[in-house]
């Protein structure tokens, strides 16, 4: 499960041809994000282009009744299991509506327990300075203020067969990983129907990742390929 990653910067997104949102939303976010923090998400934009918008990491379902419930629920909905995403109350509505999003990132962090304790690892998509994770997004409207809160969750798949990701987390934990995409693939996935997305998720565990222990920020030259 991914709880912490480094989002791409506005300049990096612009260099990929991703246009900024025009809704007056903020144009910045933390250097690292966690559930409840702001981060960019890429969604279909005008004229067939892709655009980024600032949203909350951790999906806020539409059925949340107030801000307190929204905050509580969204800290548990930052990842969505691909096997059950179409059925779970928190995710099934945006899934039916094909509200796909891509979270652009530079790397993400996972704990490796092979030494008998948690060692923070930095992981990225091999040979891609910026890559993305496939997810779902939705908008919750605060009944008190009428404010729309955009949020997203990242899809995960089983990682038992992946050479690197099966080494992450405690030995008894189920091995999961994000559905990672090179920028050239973002548009195709964002325009797919639900059946094609489900068919494609089975290929996610075959991606080549690079990773290395990173108590602090790792030098990209020190990453190991898997």
CA distance 17 to 157: 29
- Residue 165 — φ and ψ, nearest 5°? -70, -25
16 closest CA partner among 106, 151, 88, 87: 106
Asked if pLDDT for residue 15 goes beyond 90, the answer is yes
Asked if pLDDT for residue 136 goes beyond 90, the answer is yes
Helix and strand numbers (H, E) in the chain are: 5, 13
Give 119's strand partners.
Answer: 112
Query: Region 189-206: what's the mean pLDDT?
Result: 82
Q: Which two tokens stand for residue 47?
A: 């004229």
Sort residue 173 into left (φ over 0), alpha (ψ -120 to 50) or beta: beta
pLDDT of residue 203: 74
For the chain, how are helix, strand and coil distributed in percent, rounded to 5?
20, 35, 45
Q: Which two tokens stand for residue 177?
A: 């990983």
- Considering just the CA atoms, what is the radius of gyration of the chain in Å? 17
Contacts of 216 (CB under 8 A, 6+ apart): none
Going from N- to C-terminal start, the domains of the chain cover 5-219
Quote the mean pLDDT of the chain.
Answer: 90
| The CATH fold of domain 5-219 | hypothetical protein yedk fold (3.90.1680)
Strand 100-112 with 5-7, pairing:
antiparallel
- pLDDT tens for 202-220 read 777 789 999 999 876 555 5
134 closest CA partner among 79, 75, 180: 180
Asked if pLDDT for residue 79 goes beyond 70, the answer is yes
Query: Region 30-53: what's the mean pLDDT?
Result: 93
CA distance 225 to 84: 31
């Amino acid at each position: 499960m991914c709880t912490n990653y480094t989002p791409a910067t506005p300049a990096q997104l612009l260099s990929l041809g991703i246009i900024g949102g025009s809704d007056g939303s903020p144009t910045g976010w933390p250097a690292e994000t966690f559930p409840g923090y702001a981060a960019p998400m890429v969604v279909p934009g005008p004229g067939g282009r892709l655009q980024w918008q600032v949203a909350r990491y951790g999906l806020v379902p539409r059925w949340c009744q107030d801000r307190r419930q929204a905050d509580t629920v969204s800290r548990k909905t930052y990842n969505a299991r691909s096997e059950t995403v179409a059925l779970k109350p928190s995710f099934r509505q945006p899934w039916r509506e094909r509200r796909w999003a891509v979270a652009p990132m530079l790397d993400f962090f996972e704990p490796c327990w092979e030494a008998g304790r948690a060692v923070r690892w930095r992981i990225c998509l091999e040979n891609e300075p910026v890559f993305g994770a496939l997810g779902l997004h939705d908008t919750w409207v605060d009944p008190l203020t009428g404010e729309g809160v955009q949020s997203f969750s990242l899809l995960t798949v089983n990682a038992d067969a992946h050479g690197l990701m099966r080494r992450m987390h405690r030995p008894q934990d189920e091995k999961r990983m994000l559905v990672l995409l090179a920028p050239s693939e973002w548009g195709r996935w964002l325009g797919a129907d639900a059946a094609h997305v489900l068919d494609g998720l089975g290929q996610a565990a075959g991606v080549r990742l690079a990773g290395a222990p990173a108590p602090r920020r790792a030098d990209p030259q020190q990453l190991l390929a898997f």
